[in-house]
Amino acid sequence: MTLYDLHIHTFLSDCASGNNANPVEYVRAAEKNGLCAIGFSDHAWDESIRGASPWYQKQPFKRLSVVKELLEETDTRIKIFFGAETEYAGGVLGVGEKAAQELDYIIVPHSHTHMRGFVLPEGWDSPQKHAEYLLKSFFELCTHSSRERFFGIAHPFYPVGASKEAAEHIYSFISDQDMTECLCAAAENGVFLELNTSTFSGIELNETEDYFYSRFFYNAKRSGNSFFMGSDKHRVIPFGEPDRFMQIGELIKKLGLEERDFSAALDYISTTP
């Protein structure tokens, strides 16, 4: 299976700044693991857009050029893409048209709900309201008036920061019918959805079928969605050490997906000016 990773954080992301997250080392690790392409998607908020949290105010788009500069003289056989992970919070998309055009792609989460009061609104902490927010924010993103500014949704419908038990409780308030309505909007508007291996890190592959989050992918497949691969790495994993992302081919099969479900995403960012 052709593997690529479009969700990698370097030391430019505040959450990875203290790790071994050097772009050159990521490239070398990707070469050894046989990936055909990688994409850097550090956190960023466009300075031209009001509404950034204090955490995002420290992470403007303009600093992302550092990664490209570090890799200018790196000789490699793999394709390198330069992107960003911005935010959707309070109804605001954290990237403007100009900033989006300067990168190969933009991914946007709607599920960084551990950022309470910024992403998850005040008073929406109960599992039922949390579920309602995931549905509402996903649909809003897929039908956003500036939809053309971003490529796909990162870790869709996964409440980041919640324990497995808490996340499963939240999911119990999301019906297949409501989820499918959102997924149809994603398919209709050409929004790519991430299979983020970090969202499966707490289970074994043989538990995939019964894992609560797998239901999202079963419904997405039936709704005609297209996907992209992402590890959400915040550090370089030395070659030879266990790397959950390298099991993504097996995970794809367990979820009833196929390699062709992931090829359109790579083609899209490879050909989009």
Predicted pLDDT at 105: 98
**Domains in the chain with CATH codes:** 4-271 (3.20.20.140)
Best CA proximity match to 198, nearest among 210, 209, 213: 213
The pair of structure tokens assigned to 155 is 């870790």
Q: Which residues contact 79 (CB under 8 A, 6 or more apart)?
A: 4, 36, 37, 38, 270
Check residue 61 and report its DSSP letter: G
Three-state DSSP at 237 gives coil
CA–CA distances in Å: residue 128 to residues 85, 90, 124, 166, 188: 27, 19, 8, 11, 27
Check residue 22 and report its DSSP letter: -
For residues 271 and 182, give the distance between their C-alpha atoms in angstroms, rounded to a whole number. 27
Strand partners, 106: 84
Radius of gyration of the chain (CA): 17
Q: Which residues of the chain have pLDDT under 50?
A: none
Environment class of residue 67 by beta-carbon count within 10 Å: exposed (0-12), middle (13-18) or buried (19+)?
buried
Q: Is the dihedral of CA 92, 266, 239, 68 positive or negative?
A: negative
Q: With contact defined as beta carbons under 8 Å apart, do 231 and 8 qualify?
A: yes
CA angle, 117 as apex, 160 and 199 as ends, to 5°?
Answer: 5
Q: Report the C-alpha dihedral over residues 11, 13, 16, 19, rounded to 10 degrees.
A: 10
For residues 203 and 234, give the distance between their C-alpha atoms in angstroms, rounded to a whole number. 20
Best CA proximity match to 130, nearest among 172, 88, 164, 89: 172
For residues 120 and 118, give the distance between their C-alpha atoms in angstroms, rounded to a whole number. 6
Helix %, strand %, coil % of the chain (to 5): 40, 15, 40
Predicted pLDDT at 99: 96
Q: Is pTM beyond 0.95 here?
A: yes
Distance of CA 150 to the CA centre of its chain: 11
Strand partners, 79: 37
The H-assigned helical ranges of the chain are 23-32, 54-57, 65-71, 97-101, 127-142, 164-171, 176-188, 214-222, 248-254, 260-271
Q: Which residue has the tokens 């030391």?
A: 11
